[in-house]
Amino acid sequence: MKRALILFAAAVTAAAAAAPEPSRAPAPGIWTLDVEFNMPRQITLKTGEQTQRYWYIILTLTNNTGEDVDFYPDFELMTDTWKLYSSDTGITKPVYEKIKLINQGRYPFLQTLDETKDKILQGDDNKIDLLAVWKDFDKKAKNIKLFFAGLSNETEVVTIPQKDGEDRKFILQKTLCLEYLLPGDPRKRAAQKLEFVDKSWVMR
């Protein structure tokens, strides 16, 4: 399973490397949501005798495209140790409730991925505050990238040669990438704080 995940991450990276950059002058019908984001934070939650650590980020999404758009988000975290984690996998209701309570002053209508609708309506009045959560990731990691797909409908097809001689086609999507460093001693995880490196849009 571990080897499969590494190979999958490598394949995705190879496809992304072969892809062009997102268009600076999108064709008619191509849209991208406006995105604001805060700094990812960590929390812990004790269940019974076990304490689990989580990382989360809040995105504010505004649809200024001129039309209501479909919304099917897919968020992932990738470490520099080639570990890939889908957001909101195995996250329980008490975790969401604790995060919402912590942030209720600034984000009183914070939504989880399961609570979002499949369309985002136009205008500032319809912007949404969206929560993405991951369980604690590989403690050996010193760099992570957060990928947020579903914020644009721009796509690109690339072809990657395979070792067996067969070409494989990948459909890549314009994806928001946020990169962070994680300095400090991983044995003192609670004291570690992410440092922002870069924001970019990539085809992935």
pLDDT tens digits, residue range 52-97?
999 999 999 999 999 999 999 999 999 999 999 999 999 999 999 9
| Three-state DSSP class for residue 94 | helix
The fraction of the chain above a pLDDT of 70, given in percent, is 89
CA distance 91 to 108: 20
For residue 19, what are its two tokens? 């892809």
Q: What is the pTM of this model?
A: 0.86
pLDDT tens digits, residue range 5-25?
444 444 445 555 555 787 766
40 touches 146 (CB < 8 A): yes
| Three-state DSSP class for residue 137 | coil
**163 pLDDT tier (thresholds 50, 70, 90):** confident
In the chain, DSSP finds a helix count (H) and a strand count (E) of: 2, 12
The overall average pLDDT reported for the chain is 90
CA dihedral 90, 56, 104, 120 (to 10 degrees): -80
Mean pLDDT, to the nearest integer, of 184-204?
A: 94
Look at the alpha carbons of 112, 68, 75, 114 in this order and tell me if their dihedral is positive or negative: positive
Look at the alpha carbons of 33, 121, 155, 57 in this order and tell me if their dihedral is positive or negative: positive
Quote the longest CA-to-CA distance of the chain: 57
CA distance 91 to 85: 12
The fraction of the chain above a pLDDT of 90, given in percent, is 74
Mean pLDDT, to the nearest integer, of 148-159?
A: 94
| Three-state DSSP class for residue 130 | strand
**168 pLDDT tier (thresholds 50, 70, 90):** confident
